[in-house]
Each structure stands twice: as structure tokens, then as C-alpha cells.
């Protein structure tokens, strides 16, 4: 049984080059799919990287290393639609809140947010030149940010009168939540080939939120056409 599966796999692999290579209306050959993966950095404003209730200025930039993977489909020699996923570094934010309590006492709620952001992209890419070893391109689309937030809140009580240290009133409270955000983005890059199929792709992107540019990224990915 295993032998049959192996043979079928071999047949499929052998058929891939013939199946995938296409020729557009101008007679230019191209391969219909590509996959790639690589590393880079992404700098996000606190409005895009934080929970949103930290009270930070929204335009403080926070850098993060990223690992990303993409798969793309060429509709002709120039136009590609692509989806990908980028995993950002974990990021911690803090928020503080003073809560007035009965009897003139004040409470202090300190919250730590441990944030893991994953971004999913959907993009359309236009690459220049035909069947060459270097294809500069422009790209644009939407970037969906999924923030998994692990929050820990601790409440402290200030003394009613006089000086003194606040005392913790209860055990830390843990909570998990998810936030989703979406941003439009644009980018430029160059798909530069080592040989007929394998390539490296340096790329720079800029994403926007309601206040203007909010994410700047650069990455280097390696991939293969099939």
C-alpha cells in the first residue's frame, strides 16, 4: 500500500512541471504558482500593535522581527494574487487605571498584556518584464491583524488617609481575548531568480490606519515557482 502511494506521489511530481507551466496570450511562458518563506522586520505604531487602552501615544513605533510564508497564483505573465501569513514577536504592554472606591478610597488596577500578533495578507501583485531573471513588482491589498491577548490584572488599594504603600487587594486575574484589525497596504519589491524556478524576493511594505502610515516592513523571502 505504501509502495502504491510512493509511486503515485512520483507520478504526480513528474506531472507538476507539465501541468503548471502556462503560456499567456502573447506566447510568454510562465509558471502558475509560487511559494516562499523568509524573515524580515515590521515596525508598527502602538495603535496597531497594542490593545488600544494603554493610553500610549498612537504614533510610537515598535519594531518586531517577522517570519512569513506566502503562496501566490499567477493569472497571466504579470498579475498574481497572493495570500500569506506573518508571525510577529510577542509584545508586552501595560495599562494603569485609578478607580475611585466607596469611602474615599482609591484602587489602582495594573494590567499587563502579553500580545501575540499574526497577520494574514491578501494581495494583488503586478510584476514587470516578461520571462526574465529579475521582475520588479508593485503590490497592494489588505492585511488582517489577529491579536491574541493574554492579560493579567492586579488591583491595589491605596490607604484611605496619610502616607503609605498600596496593598494588593486580591490575586492576579488572568483573561484571554482576541482582537482583529484590518489595514490596507502597498509595497514594492523584486522577484530575483537564481535559476528557472528558485528566487529571492526583497520587499518593502507600508500599511495605513485611519491616522496615516502605521506599519513599515522589509523582508527577504526565498521561494520556488511550480
* Residue ranges in contact with another protein by CB under 8 A: 21, 29-31, 131-134, 190, 192-196, 198-200, 202, 220
Closer CB to another protein, 54 or 130, in the complex: 130
Closer CB to another protein, 158 or 222, in the complex: 222
157 strand-pairing partners: 107, 167
Q: How far is the CB of 225 from another protein (least distance, A)?
A: 9
Q: How far is the CB of 130 from another protein (least distance, A)?
A: 8
Closer CB to another protein, 105 or 131, in the complex: 131
CA distance 138 to 125: 6
Q: How far is the CB of 134 from another protein (least distance, A)?
A: 4
Q: Output the nine-digit C-alpha cell for 62.
A: 515598535
Q: How far apart are the first and last CA of the chain?
A: 28
Q: How far is the CB of 224 from another protein (least distance, A)?
A: 12
Q: Output the nine-digit C-alpha cell for 144.
A: 488582517
Q: How many CB atoms lie within 10 A of CB 216?
A: 16
Longest distance between any two alpha carbons in the chain, whole Å: 86
Closer CB to another protein, 10 or 23, in the complex: 23
Q: Output the nine-digit C-alpha cell for 84.
A: 500569506
Amino acid at each position: 500500500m505504501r509502495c502504491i502511494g510512493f509511486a503515485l506521489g512520483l507520478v504526480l511530481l513528474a506531472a507538476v512541471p507539465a501541468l503548471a507551466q502556462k503560456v499567456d496570450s502573447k506566447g510568454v511562458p510562465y509558471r502558475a504558482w509560487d511559494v516562499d518563506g523568509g524573515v524580515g522586520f515590521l515596525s508598527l505604531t502602538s495603535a496597531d500593535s497594542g490593545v488600544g487602552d494603554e493610553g500610549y501615544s498612537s504614533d510610537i513605533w515598535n519594531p518586531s522581527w517577522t517570519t512569513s510564508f506566502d503562496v501566490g497564483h499567477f493569472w497571466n505573465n504579470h498579475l498574481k494574487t497572493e495570500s500569506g501569513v506573518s508571525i510577529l514577536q510577542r509584545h508586552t504592554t501595560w495599562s494603569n487605571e485609578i478607580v475611585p472606591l466607596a469611602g474615599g478610597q482609591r484602587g489602582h488596577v495594573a494590567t499587563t498584556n502579553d500580545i501575540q500578533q499574526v497577520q494574514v495578507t491578501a494581495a494583488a501583485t503586478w510584476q514587470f518584464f516578461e520571462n526574465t531573471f529579475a521582475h520588479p513588482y508593485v503590490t497592494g491589498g489588505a492585511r488582517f491583524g489577529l491579536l491574541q491577548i493574554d492579560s493579567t490584572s492586579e488591583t491595589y488599594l491605596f490607604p484611605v488617609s496619610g502616607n503609605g504603600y498600596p496593598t494588593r487587594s486580591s490575586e492576579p486575574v488572568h483573561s484571554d481575548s482576541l482582537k482583529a484589525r484590518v489595514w490596507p497596504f502597498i509595497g514594492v519589491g523584486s522577484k530575483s531568480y537564481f535559476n528557472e524556478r528558485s528566487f529571492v524576493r526583497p520587499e518593502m511594505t507600508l500599511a495605513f490606519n485611519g491616522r496615516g502610515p502605521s506599519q513599515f516592513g522589509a523582508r527577504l523571502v526565498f521561494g520556488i515557482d511550480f
